[in-house]
Amino acid sequence: KNEVEQSPQNLTAQEGEFITINCSYSVGISALHWLQQHPGGGIVSLFMLSSGKKKHGRLIATINIQEKHSSLHITASHPRDSAVYICAGRKTSGSRLTFGEGTQLTVNP
Amino acid sequence: GAVVSQHPSWVICKSGTSVKIECRSLDFQATTMFWYRQFPKQSLMLMATSNEGSKATYEQGVEKDKFLINHASLTLSTLTVTSAHPEDSSFYICSARSGGTGAGETQYFGPGTRLLVL
């Protein structure tokens, strides 16, 4: 079992829809990153959270420590949101990240 | 947010040559830098972790003599792919983290360098 698991693998939505991407992680991970990778390859760090909820524009990330689960929500989705979204867990010991497989999001106009 | 740059953004080279990729943290001091490799439609694979002024720690299976990492200053790390071969063709991404071990330390990623070895 992977230490960080994402779902779904692929997600297609219509512009304007509310989108949720889920991430479950195992014991030993103390913080979670949400990353966005566009087709050109560059990676943008969206959020880093270890508890609670963070919001930036149309993006919201939540984490439930007890359930070891995090979600990334996109409100009023737009075609420019189309990208691969990756959750990555940072272990309590050390600084390396463990990456999920990524979710390919396609938002159609 | 903080900015990490990489240079070059893409490079094509002949088999047997060496290629150097630079990673710079532009507005913060990066005590730790990470080098990743990514194959098409796959997740990032950590190659090595480098701390400023000390030797890099390589992941299992990564040849340290093949992938030379230097982290000479708090804002610059370089990855040199020595005697490159076609199988080294990949997307190389660096990330940087400022000092501290708290949960509040975010990793910032560079835009990546696409290497094609002919």
pLDDT digit string (tens) for B5-63? 999 999 999 999 999 999 999 888 888 899 999 988 888 999 999 988 888 999 999 99
* Dist. CA B14–CA B113, nearest whole Å: 16
Residues of A in contact with B97 (CB under 8 A): 95
Residues of B in contact with A95 (CB under 8 A): 32, 49, 97, 101, 105
How close B86 gets to chain A, by Cα (Å)? Answer: 20
pLDDT for position B68: 95
User: B103 pLDDT exceeds 60?
Assistant: no
Q: Does B75 touch chain A (CB under 8 A)?
A: no
Residues A95 and B101: beta-carbon distance below 8 Å: yes
How close B16 gets to chain A, by Cα (Å)? Answer: 26
The most confident of the ranges A6-15, A44-53, B31-40 is A6-15
Question: Beta partners for B80?
Answer: B20, B68
Q: Is B105 exposed, middle or buried (0-12, 13-18, 19+ CB in 10 A)?
A: middle
pLDDT for position B40: 86
* Dist. CA A83–CA B108, nearest whole Å: 18
Mean pLDDT of chain A: 92
pLDDT for position A2: 76
Residues A109 and A15: beta-carbon distance below 8 Å: yes
